Structure 1
Amino acid sequence: MQSTPSPFPARIELRGEGLVLRDWTEDDVPAMPGLFDHPDIAYWTPLVSPFDEAAARARLARDRRLRGEGSVILLAITVDGRTPCGEVMLRRGEAGIELGYAVGPAHRGRGLAARAVRVLAAYAHEELGADRVVLELEPENVASVAVATRAGFRPLDVPLIEGEEKGRPYALQTWGRNLP
């Protein structure tokens, strides 16, 4: 029995807006806790907390598995092609292409998330044929709303996505960006 090939390439490197978005590697594992083990990230994202080296290794393994299944791409956000500053995510779902992001506390305030989202949105359009990409975020997450706005997204007139994660209820607002 043959398996269906992944619609995503085994390796990805995207350049644009002064960034290099690249695959996570084993060499990044020591840096990942410094990026993701933070109260803001623990609160607003589904990432595990505490985020230690074991969590980093599990995330890397999950990234590779989901990429192979053709459902998710996780890329390190870098400015130099080496040092990770955060992560940008592309997920293929029933509703289309969804993007997500997290930037380490030491790297915030430089527009990395908005730029990374624009670069990955362009990839979704050019390589995956997406007409629209979406972000799902909590309206109370002021920093994430600012990123969405700077990246050219606008709230869509659709119902909130309600659920619970880590014992905390949430209501996600869907933001969209139509691509050229």
Structure 2
Amino acid sequence: MDTHPLRLTAHGLVLREWTSDDLAVMQELFDDPDVAYRTPLGSPFGQAAALSYLHSAQRARQGNGRIHLAITTDGHQPLGEVLLNRTTGSIGYIVGAAHRGQKLAARALRTMTEYAHTNVALPWAILEIEPDNHPSIAVARSAGFHPSDSAPETVTDKGRTYELLTWEHRLTTGRG
């Protein structure tokens, strides 16, 4: 288990771990109807939810499970989040409503995918995306992900039943 703070710098971004100084901005980023609709995060997302989420992210990293990183351009101000499940290779991302349209999600996804392949030694990374989530599908395509042959997964969460399609990024053996 690595206990050093994780910081990834690539594609004009600095991805860093969340800290207690980020609680207010977490509330701002995650307390969004679109985020609540597309993710397991609840709404409203207040101070208690932010603190609980921070502690959950810290425990997951200590347990070598998930890595939750704030998306920044300067190493300080969070604009969203990208996370990696080290066991399944699943990556997720959220960009705050005020910061969308800057290709932050695509750049963060590329950075985390490279980390998954290079540092975690995963030969694949996956995304789970609803078929009607066109912005997320565009992000997946721009980061080199392709639809997999896997059957859609049916999920029921927060009283809503929907399908998730799996998108994958496989490590290529050739360079160049």
Same-fold call, TM > 0.5? yes
Q: Give 1:136's aligned residue.
A: 128
Provide runs of 4+ in structure 1 moved above 4 Å.
Answer: none
Please give the alpha-carbon distance, in whole angstroms, between the structure 1 residues aligned to 2:171 and 2:62: 26
Please give the alpha-carbon distance, in whole angstroms, between the structure 2 residues aligned to 1:146 and 1:38: 20
Residue 18 (structure 1) aligned with residue 12 (structure 2): yes
Amino acid at match of 2:154: E
Q: 2:163 aligns with which of 164, 167, 171?
A: 171
Amino acid at match of 2:74: D
Q: Compute the displacement of 1:9 (Å).
A: 4.5
Residue 48 (structure 1) aligned with residue 37 (structure 2): no
For the Cα contact (< 8 Å) 1:74–1:90, is it kept in 2? yes
Residue 68 (structure 1) aligned with residue 62 (structure 2): yes
RMSD after superposition: 1.0
Q: Residue 5 of structure 2: SS of its match in structure 1?
A: coil
Q: 2:117 aligns with which of 98, 122, 125?
A: 125
Q: Give 1:159's aligned residue.
A: 151
Please give the alpha-carbon distance, in whole angstroms, between the structure 2 residues aligned to 1:150 and 1:133: 15
Q: Give 1:103's aligned residue.
A: 95
Please give the alpha-carbon distance, in whole angstroms, between the structure 2 residues aligned to 1:51 and 1:143: 23
Please give the alpha-carbon distance, in whole angstroms, between the structure 2 residues aligned to 1:109 and 1:144: 12
Alignment coverage as a number of residue pairs: 172
Cα deviation 1:6-37 (Å, max 9, x = unaligned): 3x544200000000000000110011111111
Amino acid at match of 1:159: A
Q: Residue 89 of structure 2: SS of its match in structure 1?
A: strand
Structure 2 unaligned regions, length at least 5:
none
For the Cα contact (< 8 Å) 1:10–1:68, is it kept in 2? no
Q: Residue 24 of structure 2: SS of its match in structure 1?
A: coil
Please give the alpha-carbon distance, in whole angstroms, between the structure 2 residues aligned to 1:154 and 1:35: 28
For the Cα contact (< 8 Å) 2:152–2:163, is it kept in 1? yes
TM-score (norm 1): 0.92
Q: 1:35 aligns with which of 29, 40, 48?
A: 29
TM-score (norm 2): 0.94
